A and B are shown apart, each in its own frame.
Chain A
C-alpha cells in the first residue's frame, strides 16, 4: 500500500513538474521558437489561417493565426512570459506579506495577534474578485498593477499557515529546550521553524501561483489587467472571444495552456503537501 502511494506521488510530481518545466522553457525560448515574419507582412493574406498551415510567405503556423495575422503559437509563448512572471512575482509578494503577518501574529503580544488574525479573517471573507475589480478600477490597469493587486490580496492563506506552523512548533519540547539554552528568537525561527514550515508553505505558494495566473487572465479578460498588445494568456483568450466562430483556435490554445499549467501547479502542490504531512 505504502509502496503504491509512493509511486503515485512521484507520478504527480513528475507530470506536474515536467509540464511546468516545459512551459518555462517555452517562455524563455519564445524568441527562438516563433517563425520569422518580416516586419511588413500582408495582413489580409495571413489572417485567420487554421492550425498547421504554411502562409504565402512560407512561414509555418503551428496553431494558426489570429485576426491580425499574428502567429498564435508565438503569441502563446510570449504570453507565457507575462503570465508566469505575474504568477511568480505575485506569490513572492504574497509570501513576504504572509510570512511577516503570520510570524508577527505568532510571536508578538496577544493584542497584536488578535489584530492581525482578525485582519486575516476579514480579508479572507471578502470576495477576492470584487476587491480586485475595485482596485483595478482605481488605477490605470497594467502589468505591474496586476502583480501588486494580486499580491496584496493573496497573502491570507500563507499568513494563516505560517501562524499555525510557528505556534505548533513553538509548543514542542525541542523549541522550548532551545529557548531554555538561551537561543534567540530569530535563530529559532531560522533554524527550527522555517525548515518545518517550508514544505507546506511551498505547497501553498505553488497552488497560489496557479491561482494568480488564472486571476490575471480573468482580469485581463475583462480588460482590467494586462493591456493589449502585450500578450498574456488572458488577453489572448479575450482576443479569441471575438473570433469564437471563425477562428476558435485563437481562444482555445491559450485556455488549454492555462488549464495545463494550473493543473500542473495543483499536482505539484498536492505531492509536496503529502510529503510534508508524512514528514510530521
Chain B
C-alpha cells in the first residue's frame, strides 16, 4: 500500500515539475491567452498543487481517473479495456516461464554430465541477455515473414467479429502466441539460472543423501525432497520479478501492438497526456503490489516454516 501511495505521489509531483504545458499541447500555438486561461481553469490546473493532488486522489479512489487530454475519452474506460490484456500476458508468461524454468533448472541441477549442464547454462545466460523488443522483432521475422504461421500484431484479427466462437478463440490464441512466447523465453532464462543455483546448493545436503539411501529413485528425490525445499526462494523471486515482467510487457506490447496498459502508458507519455500517465502508472503499481502479496501468500502455503517464523 505504501508503495502504491508513494508511486502516485512521486508521479504527481514529477508530472507537475515537468517542462511543457499540457494546455499548450491541447490548444496548439494559435490559442489566445484568454482561451488558455479558460482551458486551464476547466482542467483545474490553475489551483494549488496540493488541492489538485487531493482532488485527484479523491476521484481516483472512486474509480474516476478523469478524461484523456488527447482522446477525450474517460480514462477509466480506456484502462478497463486495457488491463485484462496485460494481466493475461503477464500472468500466463510468468506461469509458463516459472514452470519451464523450474523444470529445466531441476533437470540441470541433477544431471551428472558436465556437457549438458554447461550447454543449458550457456543457453540460459543467452536467453537472459536478450532484450524483449529485439526478440520480438526476430520472432516477427521468423514466424510472420518467413514461415507465415502467426500474425504479428494486435490481440484479434480484423475479421474477428465475423467468426464463430471456436474460430474466434483460435484467432485469439494465434495472436497471443508470439507475445507470450517472447516474454516466456526471456523470463525462462533467469528462472533457470536461479533454480539451478538454489537447488545445486542443496544437492549434497544430508537429508537428500538419506532419501537416496532409502532407495527412493533419483528423480523422485529431486522432485519430492530437493525441489520442495529449494522452492521458497524461487517463490520470493517470483514476487520480486513481477516488476521486471511488467516492464517486459511494456516493450513487448509496443512491438506487437498488444492493446494493454503498456500501450496506454507509452502513448500517454508520447502525447504528454498527463492524466493518462498518472492512471496507467497507478494501475501498474497496483498490479505489481498485488503480485507481491500473492507471492507472499504462496510462499506460506508452500513452506510451513515461513508461517511459523512470521507468527513468532
Binding site for B on A (CB under 8 A): 4, 8, 122, 124-130, 133-139, 210, 214, 217-218, 221-224, 237, 240-241, 244-245, 248, 251-252, 255, 258-260, 262-263, 265-267
Cβ-defined contact, B270 with A223, below 8 A: yes
Task: Please tell me if the beta carbons of B243 and A126 are within 8 angstroms of each other in the complex.
Answer: yes
Most buried by B among A126, A130, A241, A263: A130
What 11 additional pairs, Cβ within 8 angstroms, besides A126-B285, A127-B244, A129-B250? A122-B6, A125-B292, A127-B247, A128-B247, A138-B17, A221-B133, A222-B266, A223-B270, A244-B145, A248-B141, A263-B126
- Beyond A217-B131, A255-B138, A267-B125, whether A127 also contacts B254 by CB under 8 A is no
Interface centre among A127, A221, A265 (most CB of B within 10 A): A127
B11 within 8 A of A: yes
Most B CB contacts (10 A, CB to CB) among A8, A125, A245 go to A125
Q: Does B256 contact A (CB under 8 A)?
A: no
* A34, chain B: closest CB distance, angstroms: 23
Chain A CB within 10 Å, residue with most, of B118, B134, B292: B134
A99 to B292, CA, bound (A): 27
CA separation between A255 and B246, bound complex, in Å? 21
Q: Which residues of A contact B265 (CB under 8 A)?
A: 130, 133
Count residues on chain B whose CB falls below 8 Å from chain A CBs: 47
In the assembled complex, the Cα of A185 lies from the Cα of B125 at a distance in Å of 40
The residues in B between 115 and 148 inclusive whose CB is less than 8 angstroms from any CB of A are: 118, 125-126, 128-134, 137-138, 140-141, 145
CB distance from A138 to the nearest CB of B (A): 4
A130 and B18 alpha carbons, distance in the complex (Å): 16
| Cross-chain contact of A4 among B114, B125, B250 (Cβ < 8 A) | B114
Cβ A125 vs Cβ B251 within 8 A: no
In the assembled complex, B284 has its CB within 8 A of some CB on chain A: yes
Once the chains are docked, how many angstroms separate the CA of A176 from the CA of B284?
46
Which residues on B sit within 8 Å (CB–CB) of A218?
131-133, 251
Q: Give min CB distance, A93 to chain B, whole Å.
A: 19
B residues with a Cβ closer than 8 A to A are: 2-3, 6-7, 11, 14-15, 17-19, 114, 118, 125-126, 128-134, 137-138, 140-141, 145, 240, 243-244, 246-247, 250-251, 254, 265-266, 269-270, 272, 277, 280-281, 284-285, 288-289, 292
Pairwise interchain contact B289-A244, C-beta atoms closer than 8 A = no
28 A-B contacts (beta carbon < 8 Å): A8-B118, A125-B243, A125-B289, A127-B284, A127-B288, A128-B243, A129-B247, A129-B250, A129-B251, A130-B246, A134-B269, A134-B281, A138-B18, A210-B129, A217-B133, A217-B134, A218-B251, A221-B251, A222-B254, A240-B137, A244-B145, A248-B141, A251-B134, A255-B137, A258-B129, A259-B130, A262-B129, A266-B125
- A208 CB to closest chain B CB (Å) equals 14
Instruction: Please give the distance in Å from A247's CB to the nearest CB on chain B.
Output: 11
Chain A residues near B19 (CB-CB < 8 A): 138-139
Q: How far is the CA of A142 from the CA of B218 in the complex (A)?
A: 56
A263 to B130, CA, bound (A): 8
In contact, B11 and A134 (Cβ under 8 angstroms): yes
**In the assembled complex, which residues on chain A have CB atoms less than 8 Å from the CB atom of B285?**
126-127, 130
B128 / chain A contacts, CB cutoff of 8 Å? 262-263, 266
Verify A244–B137 contact, CB threshold 8 A. Answer: yes
Question: For residue B243, which residues in chain A have a CB less than 8 angstroms away from its CB?
Answer: 125-128
Known contacts A137-B269, A266-B129; A251 and B137 CB within 8 A of each other:
yes
- B285 → A minimal CB distance (Å): 7
Residue picked from B14, B118, B131, B292, most chain A C-beta under 10 Å:
B131
Task: For the complex, give the distance between the alpha carbons of A31 and B144 in Å.
Answer: 37
Contact assessment for A130 and B284 in the assembled complex, using a CB-CB cutoff below 8 Å: yes
A21, B60: Cα distance in complex, Å: 52
